[in-house]
Structures are given as C-alpha cells and as structure tokens.
C-alpha cells in the first residue's frame, strides 16, 4: 500500500475484513445466528451497559454486518456506520435519532418518490413534519428553517433526473443554522463523490442499489461523518442528555465522533428492529468488491446511450449531466469528474402513452422498480415509482408524464442502443 494509505479499489475489497480467526476462511463468513455466547456474567453486563463492544443479538449487530459497516464507512470517509434492512430503514433511524414530536426538517423536493412518500405521509404518524425546498436554489432551504427544524436532507445525485446537487452550498445553509446535513448518496456512490468532503454530516445509502449492484439483496446504511457537535445546541437530547436505559450514559460525551452511529444502533435499531440479515450483508459485501469497476462502466455506457438518444427524432429532450450542453454539467464536473452516473431521464414527444409503449417494446431492458443493477433497467415513473404523488409533485421531482427513466447496466453498449432503437421504431 502507498504511504497515503490504501486506494478506493483496495478498500472496496479489504476494508473491515480479516481471515476468519477460527477457520482461516478468506471471505467473510455468513454468521447465520441469532445470538452470541457471553464469556461470563461480567462480560454480559459490560456489553449491555455499553462499557464494552461486542455481539449480543443479531437484531443489534452481527460480525458479517460489522465488516459491511466498516467497509462502507471507509469508502465514504466516515467514522462509523450502521447497516440496516433497507434504505428506507436507514432514513427512519436517522430521523428517529434527531427528531421529537412536533419537529420538522427541510428536504429537497427532487427526491426518489418513495422518500417523498415516506417524508410526506408516513412520518406524519410520528408528528415529524417535512418542509420542501428546491435543490437548485440553496436559499430556498434557508427560508424554510425555524426553531423546530432539526436537519436538512438532500440527495447528492437526485433520482430520477440524475441531477447533481451543490452540496457545499446547502452545507453552508446548514452550518449557518447549526443543523446537520444528511445526504443520500445512493445514486452516486462514494466512487463518484463523497458528500462528507463537501460539508455533509451524515450519509445514507440504499445498499440495494449500486453498492450491492446485482439486484439480489436488500439493505441500507447510515454513515456517521463525525463532524457534527450534537451537544452544542441542546436540540438533540438522545445524544446530549443522560440515557436512563444505559445508567445515565451521555452518548456524545462517551462516544465522541461516532456517537450518532451508536445512538442510531442502541436507541433506534435495538427497539424499532429493522435489522439487515447476515446473508444480505454477505451478498452486499461481495458486490462492493467490484464497485469501482462497475460504476465506471455504468458511467461510460450511460454517456454513450445519452449521446445517441439526444439525436433521436422521437425524443423531445434528454437530461444527463454528463452531456456537455446539459445545464447540470458544470456541477457534474465539479463534484464527480469520473462520470455522471448510470441513471438519467428523457422525454418522448408522444407523452404518457408513448412512454408506456416504449417500455413495453423493450427486450434487453428489464421493466422494474429498481436502479443500480448490472442489467439495464427502465421505468415510467409517473405510472409507477412516483404514481402516489400529485401531478405537480411529479413534475417537481422530474417525473412528469412524458418522462422515461433508464438505469444503464454494464452490458455491451451496442446491445443497449439496439434495444432502444428497435422499441422506438415501434412508436
């Protein structure tokens, strides 16, 4: 390894992992167990009292999960991580850790439709309120903040439009108001950009997507940047005040720059229970090993496909940040010089009905509600992933009636183009 430390590809293969101490197995085993034997009663008491790290019960942590957490934390440049059952579970635990009934947070309106739904509907059951801002206008976040605001949430690369967000500008708004900035980095992955380097405090992922990369396992993760002072304002009592269930321990005082990851685990995951299975953790670990190779191929293929589509007479527009004339191209080059990602959208001149016909005519592409697979994927967001939104919300999220979203895979690019060509010819 170099004096500067291991590179990204090396970390993707080795971070967090050692040969199994009992068998010598090189690949991290699947520890398919619910619970773990204690050395003695003092050892058990120390684990339950947060005086010692170790395994108690797989709902809270598991050795396979621990390797996954350390690896993603290393790739993102964070201090610690917590792997959970899905990306939605990761978001739930983040907000459970910082919010109390009656609190609010500000989120970009350009988000994955499931997140818009979770924030705007499900979170109301906890009396957590979302206030929508525009990711292309950092000042719109500033205008939504009041004394009950607990954080700002954005995506680094917005889904479905594939728009890079000016993380640093929104981080300035967060710092001005003393708030943590939470960034969903699912679409970009740490291979393309690392939000913590641009002012984020917490990063979340749907591991189901590019990090796992093979469409076979569900998972989510929270990465603690270790950058936020949870005690300064007194607004985050789960971290800054004594916890009665742990004999008065003040988590931020004891655990310092990884206190948020600990709080999300021992106060959120412990009681709410959205645990990742050891098998899914193992599958996602295997996928991570090829993340840099896959992401570069995704980006190269997507750029070639976007350039081809841009010249097609049945399309009214193509939005891909990697195109030189795209309005988002300058931000892409600033934040993600390796590429613009795999996901982008375009509009068909025939609108809603033409979009449905295109999807139904494709043969190589898989029509499903996912992104980040090795396979090329297609969906018509207005009739599927963003169906629960109002027409106005759909347009605001970049998912209007004419929009088709592609997640370009790592097949031969000539075959991807040929499939689009034959389906477009049928319209």
Please provide residue 348's backbone torsions phi and psi, each rounded to the nearest 5 degrees. Answer: -95, 140
Q: Specify the pLDDT at position 159.
A: 85
Q: Specify the pLDDT at position 160.
A: 78
Q: 115-124: list long-range contacts, CB under 8 Å, 24+ apart.
A: 115/88, 115/91, 115/184, 116/386, 116/389, 116/393, 116/397, 117/388, 117/389, 118/88, 118/91, 118/92, 119/153, 123/95
List the pLDDT tens digit at each of the 427 positions of the chain: 677 789 999 999 999 999 988 899 999 999 999 999 999 999 999 999 999 999 999 999 999 999 999 999 999 999 999 999 999 999 999 999 999 999 999 999 999 988 999 999 999 999 999 999 999 999 999 999 999 999 999 999 998 789 999 999 999 999 999 999 999 999 999 999 999 999 999 999 999 999 999 999 999 999 999 999 999 999 999 999 999 999 999 999 999 999 999 999 999 999 999 999 999 999 999 999 999 999 999 999 999 999 999 999 999 999 999 999 999 999 999 999 999 999 999 999 988 889 889 999 999 999 998 999 999 999 988 777 677 778 887 777 677 888 999 999 999 999 999 999 999 999 9
DSSP 249: B
Q: Which of 173, 169, 174, 195 is nearest to 184 (CA)?
A: 195
Exposure of 363 by Cβ count < 10 A (0-12 exposed, 13-18 middle, 19+ buried)? Answer: exposed
DSSP 266: I
Structural domains in the chain, CATH included, are 8-287 (3.40.640.10), 292-424 (3.90.1150.10)
Q: Specify the pLDDT at position 305.
A: 98
Q: Specify the pLDDT at position 390.
A: 81
Q: Specify the pLDDT at position 1.
A: 63
Q: Specify the pLDDT at position 395.
A: 77
Please provide residue 232's backbone torsions phi and psi, each rounded to the nearest 5 degrees. Answer: -60, -45
Please provide residue 243's backbone torsions phi and psi, each rounded to the nearest 5 degrees. Answer: -100, 115
| Spatial distance between the Cα atoms of 46 and 373, rounded to a whole number of angstroms | 42
Classify residue 232 as left (phi > 0), alpha (psi -120 to 50) or beta: alpha
Sequence-ordered list of residues with C-beta below 8 angstroms from that of 18, at least 6 positions apart, any chain: none
Q: Which of 107, 91, 115 is nearest to 179 (CA)?
A: 107
């Amino acid at each position: 390894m170099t004096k500067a430390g291991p590179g990204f590809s090396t970390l993707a293969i080795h971070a967090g992992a050692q040969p199994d101490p009992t068998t010598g197995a090189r690949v991290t085993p699947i520890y398919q167990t619910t619970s773990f034997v204690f050395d003695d009663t003092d050892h058990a008491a120390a684990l339950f009292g947060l005086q010692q790290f170790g395994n108690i019960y797989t709902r809270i942590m598991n050795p396979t999960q621990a390797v996954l957490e350390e690896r993603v934390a290393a790739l993102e440049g964070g201090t610690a991580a917590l792997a959970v059952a899905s990306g939605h579970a990761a978001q739930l635990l983040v907000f459970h850790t910082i919010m109390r009934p009656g609190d609010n947070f500000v989120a970009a309106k350009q988000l994955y439709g499931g997140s818009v739904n979770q924030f705007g509907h499900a979170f109301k059951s906890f009396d957590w309120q979302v206030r929508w801002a525009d990711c292309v206008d950092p000042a719109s976040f500033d205008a939504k903040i009041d004394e009950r605001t607990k954080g700002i949430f954005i995506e680094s690369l917005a889904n479905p439009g594939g728009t890079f967000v000016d993380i640093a500008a929104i981080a300035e708004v967060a710092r001005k108001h003393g708030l943590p900035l939470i960034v969903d980095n699912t679409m970009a992955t740490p291979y393309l950009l690392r939000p913590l380097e641009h002012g984020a405090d917490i990063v979340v992922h749907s591991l189901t997507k590019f990090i796992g990369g093979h469409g076979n396992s569900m998972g989510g993760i929270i990465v603690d940047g270790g950058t936020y002072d949870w005690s300064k304002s007194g607004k985050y009592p789960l971290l800054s005040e004594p916890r009665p269930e742990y004999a008065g321990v003040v988590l931020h005082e004891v655990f310092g720059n990884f206190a948020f990851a600990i709080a999300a685990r021992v106060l959120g995951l412990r009681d709410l229970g959205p645990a990742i299975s050891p098998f899914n953790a193992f599958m996602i670990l295997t996928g991570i090993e090829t993340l840099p190779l896959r992401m570069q191929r995704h980006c190269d293929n997507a750029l070639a496909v976007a350039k081809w589509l841009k010249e097609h007479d049945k399309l009214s527009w193509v939005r891909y940040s990697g195109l030189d004339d795209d309005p988002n191209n300058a931000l892409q080059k600033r934040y993600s010089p390796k590429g613009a990602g795999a996901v982008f959208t375009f509009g068909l001149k025939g609108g809603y009905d033409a979009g449905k016909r295109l999807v139904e005519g494709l043969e190589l592409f898989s029509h499903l509600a996912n992104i980040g697979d090795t396979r090329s994927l297609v969906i018509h967001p207005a009739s599927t992933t963003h169906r629960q939104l109002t027409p106005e919300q759909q347009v605001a999220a970049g998912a209007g009636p004419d929009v088709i979203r592609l997640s370009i895979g790592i097949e031969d690019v000539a075959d991807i183009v040929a499939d689009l060509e034959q389906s477009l010819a049928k319209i």
